[in-house]
């Protein structure tokens, strides 16, 4: 079992907040155990968080383990000598477990070097700390992002000290290490070196360093270590950067200014050369926003995902649906009359029970627009979805339900709910009869006797009239969104393609999502239901009060665009 540590950094900074957000709805994988070192924020439904004293107790992949290293006296946004001591203790504890081979990787949140210096003035940074603790002589700071990848010849040091360090022996060692480590990650990488001086020194007219660099690179090429350059840095990023898999910068800011400008919050810091994997966010402690609940966990999520990619290079890491659309979902669905849906649902329940349900579950809740309205009415609501991004949007709702990350076909607690909901044609995403059978069985088991299951479907009429050949384009200042849909009537499959061009930093990035739905006929759904222990009480259109179950069933698919099924246990 692979074990990945997440260190939360300075407890006065944003590290614990972004770690808690990143792990709240993270997909737990059978071959990975996550262990948090430091401070965490516990949410109401964080039953999967398990506090332990040592890593030997981290044994199950269905839990997130927490080795608590914190002190209540630390205030958000106010770094102190004590907060620095705690940040250092977190690193020491994690390093001990890494060196004893009890961990395979570490993902680090930001620390304050200034705070640590009060008690450990020799501390330079994460990179140097892990190198020293693992007795690794040479390591490389590298940064991986959507537009280009970067490696640094030097780490955190004064720029005045760099020229004296750039000897032939130093350059040979560093170039060879970079090449060897990058070849572990990329097949036949194309690597470029940036010049140290303006215009690469103009053949020694101002600065001799680039002449030395060129001679070292030429010698290494004879050993089949191919690194091009040195290239003048002022024009390289506009003309040549896209031709290379990795760019080498001689010092910190030369490469990191363009990297952070272009990569925004998608960049990942990776230390090359260590005997274990170490990735990190590419931002700082952000003391100015610490404790305000507004810090973004996106960079940390990229760092966690990148560590998993390094551990499992053949594993498919394709973006899931709603990973991008989640941010725009509520605006795009603003035409939906959610209040009317909630009234319809509660009216259906009141017909049978003469009162509101005591406990509700909404499956595939998305951004929890319906659930939050039910909570606003004072009802007890649990809600789940398989999209981390949709759930994170849901957490921002003023009347947020109890949220959890689950597939709609996941096993549910027995005899627990009075009402279970599955809305906005989510059931159409289940393309196999066996999946619907599992769903109906799980929901039946989870309902109390007399409880209701209400779900809706989109019909062939809706697909043919409103979505077959559908095209919608939205052009905004920082985003461009294309929605295309097609309906294949012979297979009853509706395919929706979403394309986003989103401005990140100074560039637009493209993202694609494909949503596939199976459009079931009413007769098929009734047949599924009749094979369960459910009683089908009614089929409704939200715009009509009467029960369509008493009408000609074969006409419902062609007469209505959306249908609601009311099932009773």
**Average pLDDT for 144-150:** 90
Q: How confident is the model at residue 45 (pLDDT cuts 50, 70, 90)?
A: low
**Predicted confidence (pLDDT) at residue 509 exceeds the cutoff of 90:** no
- pTM confidence score: 0.81
Residue after which a domain boundary falls, among 502, 518, 534: 518
Instruction: Please indicate, yes or no, whether residues 371 and 287 belong to a single structural domain of this protein.
Output: no
133 three-state secondary structure: helix
Residue 199 and residue 123 share a domain: no
Could you tell me the pLDDT band of residue 316, with boundaries at 50, 70 and 90?
A: low
181 and 208, same structural domain? yes
Range of the domain at 358: 326-461+519-568
Task: Indicate which CATH number applies to the domain containing 392.
Answer: 3.40.50.150
- Are 384 and 475 part of one and the same domain? no
DSSP reduced 3-state for 81: helix
Domain match, 359 and 486 both: no
Q: Do 334 and 260 belong to one domain?
A: no
Report the alpha-carbon distance of residue 452 to residue 10 in Å, rounded.
Answer: 48
Task: Report pLDDT for 46.
Answer: 61
Identify the CATH number of the domain in which residue 216 sits. 3.40.718.10
pLDDT > 70 in the chain, percent: 98
Average pLDDT over residues 434-450: 97
**Number of structural domains the chain divides into:** 4
Name the range with the highest mean pLDDT among 39-48, 158-167, 324-333, 518-527.
518-527
pLDDT at 228: 95
Does residue 497 share a domain with residue 472? yes
Is residue 276's pLDDT more than 80? yes
Same domain, 487 and 562: no
CA-based nearest residue to 111, from 135, 132, 133, 86: 86
Long-range contacts of 398-403 (CB under 8 A, 24+ apart): 398/372, 399/372, 399/373, 399/375, 400/368, 400/372, 400/375, 401/362, 401/365, 401/368, 401/371, 401/372, 401/374, 401/375, 402/44, 402/45, 403/25, 403/45, 403/365, 403/368
Summary count for the chain: helices (H), strands (E): 18, 23
Burial 537-567 (b: 16+ CB within 10 A, else e): bbbbbbeeeeebbeeeeeebbeebbbbbbbb
Whether residue 347 is found in the same domain as residue 393:
yes
Confidence of residue 533 (pLDDT cuts 50, 70, 90): very high
- Residue 130 pLDDT greater than 70, yes or no: yes
Going by C-alpha positions, the residue among 225, 282, 254, 279 that lies closest to residue 154 is 254
* Domain match, 39 and 142 both: no
When the pLDDT of each residue in the chain is averaged and rounded to a whole number, the result is: 92
Q: What is the CATH number of the domain that holds 496?
A: 2.20.25.110
Checking if the pLDDT of 54 tops 90, the result is yes
Query: Are 108 and 163 part of one and the same domain?
Result: no
Query: Do residues 259 and 311 share a domain?
Result: no
The strand pair at 562-568 and 535-540 is best described as antiparallel
């Amino acid at each position: 079992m692979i074990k990945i540590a997440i260190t939360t950094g300075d407890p006065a900074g944003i590290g614990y907040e972004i770690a808690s957000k990143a792990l709240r709805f993270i997909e737990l994988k059978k071959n990975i155990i996550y262990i948090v070192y430091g401070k965490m924020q516990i949410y109401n439904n964080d039953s999967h968080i398990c506090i332990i004293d040592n890593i030997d107790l981290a044994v199950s992949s269905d839990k997130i383990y927490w080795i608590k290293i914190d002190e209540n006296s630390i205030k958000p946004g106010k770094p102190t000598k004590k907060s620095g001591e705690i940040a250092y203790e977190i690193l020491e504890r994690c390093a001990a477990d890494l060196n004893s081979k009890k961990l395979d990787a570490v993902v680090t949140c930001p620390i304050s070097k200034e705070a640590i210096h009060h008690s450990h003035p020799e501390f330079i940074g994460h990179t140097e700390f892990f190198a020293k603790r693992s007795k690794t002589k040479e390591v490389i700071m590298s940064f991986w992002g959507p537009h280009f990848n970067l490696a640094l010849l030097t780490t955190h040091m004064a720029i005045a000290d760099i020229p004296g360090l750039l000897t032939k022996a130093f350059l040979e060692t560093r170039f060879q290490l970079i090449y060897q480590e990058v070849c572990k990650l990329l097949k036949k990488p194309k690597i470029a070196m940036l010049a140290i001086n303006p215009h690469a020194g103009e053949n020694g007219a101002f600065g001799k360093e680039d002449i030395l660099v060129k001679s070292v690179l030429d010698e290494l090429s004879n050993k089949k270590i191919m690194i091009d350059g040195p290239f003048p840095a002022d024009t390289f990023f506009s003309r040549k950067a896209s031709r290379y898999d990795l760019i080498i910068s001689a010092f910190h800011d030369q490469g990191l200014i363009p990297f952070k400008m272009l990569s925004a919050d998608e960049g990942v810091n990776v230390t090359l050369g260590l005997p274990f994997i170490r990735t990190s966010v590419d931002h700082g402690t952000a003391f100015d926003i610490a404790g305000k609940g507004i810090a973004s966990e996106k960079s940390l999520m990229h760092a966690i995902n990148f560590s998993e990619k390094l551990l499992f290079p053949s594993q498919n890491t394709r973006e899931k649906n709603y990973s991008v659309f989640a941010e725009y979902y509520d605006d795009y669905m603003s035409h939906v009359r959610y209040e009317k849906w909630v009234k319809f649902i509660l009216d259906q329940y009141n017909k049978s029970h003469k009162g509101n349900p005591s406990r509700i579950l909404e499956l595939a809740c998305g951004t929890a627009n319906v659930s939050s309205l039910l909570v606003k009415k004072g009802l007890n609501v649990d809600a789940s979805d398989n999209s981390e991004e949709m759930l994170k949007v849901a957490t921002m709702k003023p009347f947020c339900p109890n949220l959890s990350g689950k597939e709609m076909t996941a096993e549910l607690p027995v005899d627990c709910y009075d009402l279970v909901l599955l809305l906005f044609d989510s059931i159409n995403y289940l393309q196999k009869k066996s999946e619907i059978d599992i769903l109906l069985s799980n929901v039946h088991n989870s309902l109390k006797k007399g409880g209701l299951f209400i779900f809706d479907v989109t019909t062939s009429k809706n697909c043919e009239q409103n979505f077959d050949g559908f095209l919608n384009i939205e052009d905004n200042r920082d985003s461009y969104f294309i929605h295309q849909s097609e309906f294949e009537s012979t297979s009853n499959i509706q395919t929706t393609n979403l394309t986003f061009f989103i401005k990140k930093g100074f560039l637009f990035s493209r993202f694609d999502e494909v949503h596939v739905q199976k459009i079931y006929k009413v007769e098929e759904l009734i047949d599924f239901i009749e094979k369960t222990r459910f009683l089908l009480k009614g089929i409704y259109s939200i715009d009509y009060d009467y029960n369509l179950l008493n009408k000609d069933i074969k006409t419902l698919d062609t007469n209505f665009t959306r249908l609601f099924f009311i099932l009773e246990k």
